[in-house]
C-alpha cells in the first residue's frame, strides 16, 4: 500500500500501550521521499514513542509500519537501521570517552560483514574492512564539516558539536530516512540557528528524508515543509507551518501546558 504517492515511510493505524495505557493510538502517518517533516506535540504526547515504533524499539499492539512499501513491523532495531532508517536520541548517546571518529565507527558496525571472531583474531579480511570503515567515517565527518574534530574526545566538545557528531554517526549507517529526536534541546538561539542550516544542508547533500521532533517552534516552523501534531497519542492536526500556527486545536493543546513557548 504505502509506496503509492511516493511514500517512503508509512504508519498504518499504529497503537502502542504501556500497562494498558495507549501512548500512541491509531496513528496514521505518511512521509514522502525527500520531505522534511516535523512531529510536534506537548510533553508526553507520544512523539518519541512514534520513533521507537518506526525503529523497532517498541512493537505496536496493532497497526503496521511500512518502509519503501515493505512491512517492517516488528523488525529488530539493527535490521531497521540496515534497511535504511537511522535516528538520533532525545538524550544523547555518544560514547564520551571515545573520539569523534570512533563514535562514528561504532555506528557502522551494523554494516560490517566480518564476524566477531575475525575481529578478535585481527584477520586480514577484518583489517581491510575496518580500514574501509575508517575511510568512510572520515568521509562522512568531512562532508558534515567535522573532520578537524575526528581525533577529539567526543565528551570534551561543546554541546552543539556533540549533537552534530550524533547526526554524523546516524549518517554513517547510510540511511535514506533520518529521524531526529529534539536535536536542538539545550541549545542557545545561535546554536539552534546553525543547527537549522546544518539539517537542511545534510538533507540536500545526502538526499535524505527527515522526520524531526522538536519543541523549538522557530526551528520547526523555519525548516519543515509539513508538520504533524500529536496530543495524548492521537493525531490532532497536520499542515504547513502557517496552517499549524493558526490551528485552534494545536493552540489549545499547547496552552494546556502553559503555552510552552509556542508563538
The C-alpha atoms of residue 255 and residue 249 are separated, in whole angstroms, by 10
Task: Compute the least distance from the CB of residue 149 to ligand ATP, in Å.
Answer: 28
User: What is the grid cell recorded at 154?
Assistant: 567526543
**Segment interacting with Mg ion, rule: CB under 5 A, options 17-25, 33-41, 83-91, 231-239:** 83-91
Among 10, 23, 184, 244, binds ligand ATP (CB under 6 A): 23
> Binds 159, which of Mg ion, ligand ATP, none (CB < 5 to 8 A, cut-off by type)?
none
Place of cell 536542538: 184
The C-alpha atoms of residue 153 and residue 168 are separated, in whole angstroms, by 15
**Segment interacting with Mg ion, rule: CB under 5 A, options 11-19, 32-40, 59-67, 86-94:** 86-94
Q: How many residues sit close enough to ligand ATP to count as binding (CB under 6 A)?
A: 11
* 99-to-88, 137, 159, 235, 260 alpha-carbon distances in Å: 18, 12, 15, 40, 36
Task: Compute the least distance from the CB of residue 47 to ligand ATP, in Å.
Answer: 3
Task: Compute the least distance from the CB of residue 70 to ligand ATP, in Å.
Answer: 25
> Binds 46, which of ligand ATP, Mg ion, none (CB < 5 to 8 A, cut-off by type)?
ligand ATP
Give the three-class secondary structure for 209: strand
User: What is the grid cell recorded at 81?
Assistant: 537501521
Of 39 and 210, the one with the shorter C-beta distance to ligand ATP is 39
**Segment interacting with Mg ion, rule: CB under 5 A, options 9-17, 88-96, 200-208, 232-240:** 88-96
Q: Which residues contact 169 (CB under 8 A, 6 or more apart)?
A: 88, 94, 103, 104, 106, 107
The C-alpha atoms of residue 162 and residue 86 are separated, in whole angstroms, by 17
Q: Where are the alpha helices (DSSP H) in the chain?
A: 47-54, 77-83, 100-108, 116-120, 124-143, 159-171, 189-206, 217-223, 241-245, 248-255
Task: Compute the least distance from the CB of residue 27 to ligand ATP, in Å.
Answer: 11
Does residue number 41 form part of the binding site for ligand ATP (CB under 6 A)?
Answer: yes
The C-alpha atoms of residue 76 and residue 117 are separated, in whole angstroms, by 23
Of 67 and 254, the one with the shorter C-beta distance to ligand ATP is 254
Q: Which of residues 42-71 bind ligand ATP (CB under 6 A)?
A: 43-49
Of 7 and 53, the one with the shorter C-beta distance to ligand ATP is 53
Does residue number 179 form part of the binding site for ligand ATP (CB under 6 A)?
Answer: no
Does residue number 48 form part of the binding site for Mg ion (CB under 5 A)?
Answer: yes
Torsion of CA 174, 176, 181, 187, to 10 degrees: 70
Binding residues for Mg ion (CB under 5 A):
47-48, 90
Binding residues for ligand ATP (CB under 6 A):
18, 23, 41, 43-49, 90
Amino acid at each position: 500500500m504505502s509506496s503509492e504517492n511516493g511514500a517512503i515511510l508509512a504508519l498504518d493505524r499504529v497503537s502502542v500501550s504501556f500497562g494498558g495505557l495507549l501512548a500512541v493510538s491509531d496513528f496514521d502517518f505518511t512521509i514522502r521521499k525527500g520531505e522534511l517533516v516535523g512531529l510536534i506535540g506537548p510533553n508526553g504526547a507520544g512523539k518519541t514513542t512514534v520513533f521507537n515504533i518506526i525503529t523497532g524499539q517498541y512493537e505496536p499492539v496493532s497497526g503496521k509500519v511500512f518502509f519503501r512499501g515493505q512491512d517492517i513491523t516488528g523488525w529488530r532495531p539493527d535490521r531497521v537501521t540496515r534497511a535504511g532508517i537511522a535516528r538520533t536520541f532525545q538524550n544523547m548517546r555518544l560514547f564520551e570517552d571515545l573520539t569523534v571518529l570512533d563514535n562514528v565507527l561504532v555506528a557502522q558496525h551494523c554494516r560490517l560483514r566480518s564476524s566477531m571472531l575475525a575481529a578478535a583474531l585481527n584477520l586480514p579480511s577484518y583489517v581491510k574492512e575496518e580500514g574501509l570503515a575508517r575511510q568512510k567515517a572520515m568521509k562522512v565527518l568531512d562532508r558534515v564539516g567535522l573532520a578537524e574534530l575526528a581525533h577529539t574526545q567526543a565528551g570534551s566538545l561543546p554541546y552543539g558539536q556533540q549533537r552534530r557528531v550524533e547526526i554524523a554517526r546516524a549518517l554513517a549507517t547510510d540511511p535514506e530516512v533520518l529521524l531526529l529526536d529534539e536535536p536542538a534541546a539545550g541549545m542557545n538561539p545561535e546554536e539552534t540557528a546553525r543547527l537549522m542550516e546544518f539539517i537542511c544542508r545534510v538533507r540536500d547533500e545526502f538526499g535524505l528524508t527527515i522526520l524531526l521532533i522538536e519543541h523549538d517552534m522557530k526551528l520547526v516552523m523555519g525548516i519543515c515543509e509539513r508538520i504533524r501534531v500529536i496530543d495524548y497519542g492521537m493525531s490532532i492536526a497536520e499542515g504547513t507551518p502557517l496552517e499549524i500556527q493558526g490551528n485552534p486545536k494545536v493552540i489549545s493543546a499547547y496552552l494546556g501546558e502553559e503555552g510552552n513557548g509556542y508563538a
